[in-house]
Amino acid sequence: MLEPLATMGLQVEGERNTLPLTVQGTQDLVPIVYDLAVPSAQVKSSILLAGLHAPGRTTVVEPLPTRDHTERMLEFFGAELKIEDRADGARAVTVCGDAELTGADLAVPGDPSSAAFLVAAALICPGSEV
């Protein structure tokens, strides 16, 4: 879903927004308030990350809470974030643009589910090992 990023200033060239696409950013990003049509952590994250480089505040309103990995990461690295639970059950996540992030050590735990495909392949091929 490229519509919110296009609203912020991303230029997309391609046939009906299907692959292959050519995308071109801009130095003049525009902050937006975007209401997610359906809960999507991926769309929310793309808007918040783009919002880091836009002046002002960029807000994503999600109808139901989605995974909050991006919000946690942004706060950890020093972004100014505001999270508001609304009376209607929606949640608004706002990031302040032109953020000055700070690097820090971070331990990312392994995800055994990522290995599931390799394990399954090894199990169905006699003599295989992972």
Structural domain spans, the chain: 3-124
67-86 pLDDT tens trace: 999 999 999 999 999 999 99
Q: Which residue has tokens 């975007």?
A: 34
Cβ–Cβ contacts within 10 Å for residue 70, how many?
Answer: 22
Confidence of residue 13 (pLDDT cuts 50, 70, 90): confident
Hey, what CATH topology would domain 3-124 get? Answer: UDP-n-acetylglucosamine1-carboxyvinyl-transferase; Chain (3.65.10)
- Which pLDDT value is given to residue 61? 97
**pTM, entire model:** 0.80
In whole angstroms, give the CA distance from residue 122 to residue 12.
41
C-alpha torsion sign, points 113, 115, 118, 123: negative
% of the chain with per-residue pLDDT over 70: 98
Q: Say which residues have a Cβ less than 8 Å from residue 50's Cβ, sequence separation at least 6.
A: 5, 8, 10, 29, 58
What average pLDDT score do residues 99-128 get? 86
